[in-house]
Amino acid sequence: MSHKEFENIKADISLADDFESPQEIPLMPLRNTVLYPQQVIPLYIGRERSLRLLDELLPETKLIAVVAQKDISTENPKEDDLYSWGTLAQVLKIFDMPDKSKSAIVQGIERIQILKVTQESPFYKAVVRRVHEISYTNDVKTQALVSNLYNQFQTLVDKAQYLTNEHLDVVKVIRDPGRLADKIVSILNVQVSEKQSILEIPDVQKRLTSATILVNKEIQRMEVGEKIQSQVQDSINKNQREYFLREQLKAIRKELGEDDSGMDTKELEEKIEKSNLPEEALKVARKELTRLERISPQSPEYTVSRTYLEWLVELPWSVSTDDQVDITKAEQILNEDHYGLEKIKERILEYLAVRKLKQLKDPKAGVKGPILCFIGPPGVGKTSVGMSIARAMGRKFYRMSLGGVRDEAEIRGHRRTYIGALPGRIIQGIKKAGSNNPVFMLDEIDKLGADFRGDPSSALLEVLDPEQNYSFSDHYLEVPFDLRHVMFIATANWYDPIPDPLKDRMEILEFPGYTEPEKIHIAKSFLIPKQIKEHGLEQDDIVFTNDGISTIIENFTRESGVRNLEREIANICRKVAREKVEKGTRKRRITSSMVTRYLGKKKYYSEVAERMVKPGIAVGLAWTAVGGDILFIEATKMPGTGKLILTGKLGDVMQESAQAAMSFIRANAEHFGIDPNFNKEYDVHIHIPAGAIPKDGPSAGVTLMTAMVSVLSDRMVKDRYAMTGEITLRGHILPVGGIKEKVIAANRAGIRNVILPDKNKKDIDEDIPAEVKKEMTFHFLDDMLDVLDLALEPKKDREKK
């Protein structure tokens, strides 16, 4: 149909002339099709509503609005499911089909906007309005755009198989620029949304530009497709060529008697027979070997299968070391490597003694390995004790750090379906140790994490349970491995983060902090000889005196362990080494003054004497993850209305302890010589310095109350007194934990009197080293009134001063 014939048809349609204002007409949604003006297309109509629409059409006009729907799967679209631009169309002819559906020939007339869908049943109706095209007559830019679009379309016809020269001939005769863009886009094999975007552009120049972009995209897609197809074909040809060459090479080797295709499998078969695998593992290995023989060496599956077999045969299924059950020799080794730690050594020797008795009764009997967990501050020798245990028992040692491990597959391994799969770190450690009964150290077990990849601590439950680990199943091996003979030792700095099920499977051994005499002995016996050797010095080049070591401990380190002490000793050794090289100096005697000369200004100093100068200051004892420490609690009063102000980043429990102390003081104000109405005249402010560090726990209750009574009664706390304990509203003192660490911290700070709950007396008797007990006096009390009578100076004595 020519353009002139189309205009004649359009002129005969009276309704179209009135579309300057909105009109309501029937609407037909189309699936997977966009109708453009002047385009004639056949439609297959099977939906009930569309069939009803055709039945109700007026015979004189047969005008409908045609619009594409966004989702072709929607059977009965709503207004939101339809595009807002469509085409006014005339139904030219309707055909009845044998299956009771219909087929219609429709012709697009002009662009319209769908303002509102007014009816959905029995068929769609909508209010629409006409859209005028913005055209440019004899415009140079329009002519250039038309020429460019035609040339691009001609290029696409040469590349696209679904386009022919007949399409090019149809496009060639179109003179109207807007219709040219519509026609070309209607032919393209692009998405409905892209065709719809062209329908919604009334500006002819913009429409030509957008159509050109779509044609260019199709050209690029065709070029990429051709390139990929070419690469695939080249790859196929290359693989075929390599296959033929390998077959020829195989035939040549066979003729020469050099055929080694079965060498790998024969070698693996020999290893399997010699590795003394358990029956179940042997069955799996033979089955996998049979499968390997059928796989081509060029197949990726070949490498996966071979690697799996190598892991199976290289694991020490039946390789074990003989335990040394000489208790005297084991005790000697433990004492050589570590000073102190008597309870830890005692537990190890007990294990060896039990093993020796079992072997005397039945040489083939085994002892389930104990699961020990060493908990203590950094630097106290937890990891090195594990190494000493392995040496004392004559076992191999393997250390596995769990800090930051968040993936459950780190413990159990990855399944072989994954690329690069490996066994978990437990099986890897057993293989590296080379025996099935090593001392296996799980370091930093309190630092385990968990995320979307699983919970590693849950995977460890089977590993650390003697009732389950005889058949530990790794995801990679999928064959049970017996871990009963492995001696697992875990280490941690903190008790609380360890999950309760794991705690239940382990025997907790607490590592205390070292006292100053112990540190001096460790430095002279272990640290100094080690650092002298590491810095290229001789024993005659440098000598540390006890005073010098003591100065380093008191003024340059503050720790429960000896890690920083070793660093400072290394610092001095470096400086002596430099002097020896530069000046040729001989034998430096490291005294207290020489320590200050080499290390500079001291880092730590005792604050007790300097801060205990006014009422309201008391010294508490605190337990931390790195050992004990002293805690200054300051209280002051000021005119106010009885408020209790708490600062220093205190936790809820510590704040509640302060509230309980205030209630007890108000209830017993007269007994302390405090004005009963003090809460109406004063505010009390309690502050614990080092405000950036969080502090919590009930054990500061005694110290909080002492500081508050001190400031309210204007009585000084006695010099070099420290205290700890939880209080009740009745003034009773309850026991607390961490006594050993707290007492050692007080001793380190120069405090000689410590007030403790009466029920903690057993902790002093059992845990505190004898040299510390000699230097300190302990006061065991269970009533707060007794504490205040002991810790506070009489008011009259202070007035005399």
Residue 423 has pLDDT above 70, yes or no: yes
Across residues 635-640, what is the average pLDDT? 91
CATH classification at residue 462:
3.40.50.300
- Residue 281 has φ and ψ, to the nearest 5°, of -65, -40
Yes or no: say if 436 and 319 are a contact pair by the CB < 8 Å rule: yes
pLDDT value of position 19: 57
If we measure between CA atoms, which residue out of 776, 693, 781 comes closest to residue 740? 776
Distant-in-sequence, close-in-space partners of 383: CB < 8 Å, separation ≥ 6: 399, 441, 443, 491
Q: What is the CATH number of the domain that holds 612?
A: 3.30.230.10
Which residues are tagged catalytic? 699, 742
Other CB atoms within a 10 A radius of the CB of residue 155 amount to 15
User: Which of 410, 412, 407 lies closest to 474 in space, CA to CA?
Assistant: 412
> Does some domain include residue 245?
no
560, 379 contact by CB (below 8 A): yes
Q: From CA 376, how far away is CA 679, in angstroms rounded?
A: 44
> Is residue 715 within 8 Å of residue 795, measured between CB atoms?
yes
How many other CB atoms are found less than 10 A from the CB of residue 670?
9
Per-residue pLDDT band at 82 (split at 50, 70, 90): very high
Q: Considering the chain, what percentage of its residues have pLDDT values greater than 90?
A: 22
- Domain containing 146 — which CATH number? 1.20.58.1480
d(C-alpha 58, C-alpha 62), whole Å: 5
Query: What residues pair up with 629 in beta bridges, in sequence order?
Result: 622
Q: What is the mean pLDDT of residues 400-423?
A: 85
For residue 572, is it within any domain? yes
Q: What share of the chain is helix, strand, coil (3-state, %, to 5)?
A: 50, 20, 35
- From residue 770, alpha-carbon distances to 116, 159, 775 in Å are 95, 95, 9
570 and 708 in a single domain? The answer is no
Q: Is residue 696 domain-shared with residue 779, that is, in the same domain?
A: yes
SS3 235: helix
The stretch 465-480 carries a mean pLDDT of 84
* Integer Rg of the chain from CA: 45
Domain end (from 272, 292, 314): 314
Whether residue 395 contacts residue 352, with contact meaning beta carbons closer than 8 Å, is answered with: no
Highest mean pLDDT among 511-515, 709-713, 761-765: 709-713
- This prediction has a pTM of 0.60
The confidence score (pLDDT) of residue 16 equals 46
Judge if 302 and 427 occupy the same domain.
no
Tokens matching residue 295? 């796989």
* Same domain, yes or no: 570 and 621: no
Both structure tokens of 743: 């007492």
In whole angstroms, give the CA distance from residue 511 to residue 381. 8
Q: Are residues 276 and 334 in the same domain?
A: no
Query: Which domain covers residue 699, as residue numbers?
Result: 608-800
Contacting residues for 364 by C-beta, under 8 A, at least 6 apart = none
DSSP label at 749?
A: T
Through-space distance between the first and last CA atoms of the chain, rounded to whole angstroms: 122
The answer as to whether 522 is a domain residue is yes
Into how many domains does the chain fold?
6
CB atoms within 10 A of CB 508: 13
pLDDT tens-digit series, residues 193-230: 899 999 999 999 999 999 999 999 988 888 888 888 77
**Contact indicator for 512, 744 with CB cutoff of 8 Å:** yes
**Antiparallel, parallel or unpaired: β 644-647 and 753-757:** unpaired
Which tens digits make up the pLDDT trace of 540-596? Answer: 889 999 899 988 988 888 787 888 899 999 999 999 999 888 887 778 888 988 888
* Residue linked to tokens 């679209």: 77
Whether 255 maps to a domain, the answer reads no
Q: What CATH number is associated with residue 568? A: 1.10.8.60
Give the DSSP letter of residue 527. Answer: I
Q: What is the pLDDT of residue 801?
A: 37
Identify whether residues 583 and 633 lie together within a single domain: no
pLDDT band at 377 (very low <50, low <70, confident <90, very high): confident
pLDDT of 306 > 90? The answer is no
Burial of 738 (0-12, 13-18, 19+ CB in 10 A): buried
**Residue 81: pLDDT above 80?**
yes
Task: Give the sign of the dihedral formed by CA 120, CA 124, CA 129, CA 135.
Answer: positive
Strand ranges in 444-527 using DSSP code E only, listed in sequence order: 472-473, 480-481, 487-492, 507-510
Pairing, β 23-30 against β 63-68:
parallel
Q: Provide, rounded to the nearest whole percent, the portion of the chain with pLDDT above 70.
A: 92
Tell me whether residue 258 is in a domain.
Answer: no
- The pLDDT of residue 626 is 64
DSSP 8-state secondary structure symbol assigned to residue 458: H
Question: Using CB atoms within 10 A of its CB, is residue 278 exposed (0-12), middle (13-18) or buried (19+)?
Answer: middle
- pLDDT value for 20: 64
Closest CA to 200 of 322, 112, 313: 112
Residues 480 and 333 grouped into a single domain: yes
CA distance 686 to 688: 7
User: Residue 59: which CATH number?
Assistant: 2.30.130.40
Q: What are phi and psi of 785, to 5 degrees?
A: -65, -40
Q: Is residue 339 part of a domain?
A: yes
* pLDDT band at 253; cut points 50, 70, 90: low
Phi-psi region of 341 (alpha: psi -120 to 50; beta: other; left: phi over 0): left
Q: What pLDDT score does 259 carry? A: 52
Same domain, 472 and 339: yes
**DSSP three-state, residue 565:** helix
Q: Of 222, 243, 273, which one is at a domain's C-terminal end? A: 222
pLDDT band (50, 70, 90) for residue 14: very low
Of 379, 393, 397, the C-alpha closest to 333 is 393
The yes-or-no verdict on residue 800 having pLDDT over 70 is: no
Residues 648 and 793 in one domain: yes
Q: Are residues 307 and 354 in the same domain?
A: no
Cα 426 off chain centre by:
20
pLDDT digits (tens, 9 = 90+) for 597-613: 888 888 876 655 455 66
Predicted pLDDT at 365: 58
- Which pLDDT belongs to residue 258? 53
CA gap 512, 623 in Å, rounded? 11
487 and 347 share a domain? yes
CA distance 64 to 86: 10
pLDDT(491) > 70: yes
Token output for 339: 């000073």
Choose the weakest-confidence range: 194-198, 201-205, 521-525, 620-624: 620-624
Q: How confident is the model at residue 364 (pLDDT cuts 50, 70, 90)?
A: low
Q: Specify the DSSP class assigned to residue 526.
A: I
The contacts of residue 273 (CB under 8 Å, 6+ apart) are none
**Cα-based angle 668, 669, 673 (whole degrees, multiple of 5):** 125
- Looking at residues 252-280, what average pLDDT do you find? 73
The verdict on 755 and 625 lying in the same domain is yes
pLDDT by residue (tens digit) across 687-700? 988 777 888 888 89
Average pLDDT over residues 372-399: 87
Burial (CB count <10 Å: 0-12, 13-18, 19+), residue 583: exposed
Quote the pLDDT of residue 242.
74
The SS3 of residue 202 is coil
Contact 760, 780 (CB under 8 A): yes
- Which amino acid is present at 70? K
How many Å apart are CA 362 and CA 370, to the nearest integer? 19
How many residues comprise the chain?
801
Reported confidence tier of residue 647, pLDDT bands at 50, 70, 90: very high
Q: In what order do the strands lie in the sheet with 439-443?
A: 397-401, 439-443, 487-492, 372-375, 507-510
Domain stops at, among 447, 478, 510: 510
DSSP state of 486: -
pLDDT digits (tens, 9 = 90+) for 312-356: 888 898 888 887 778 888 888 888 888 878 888 888 888 778 877
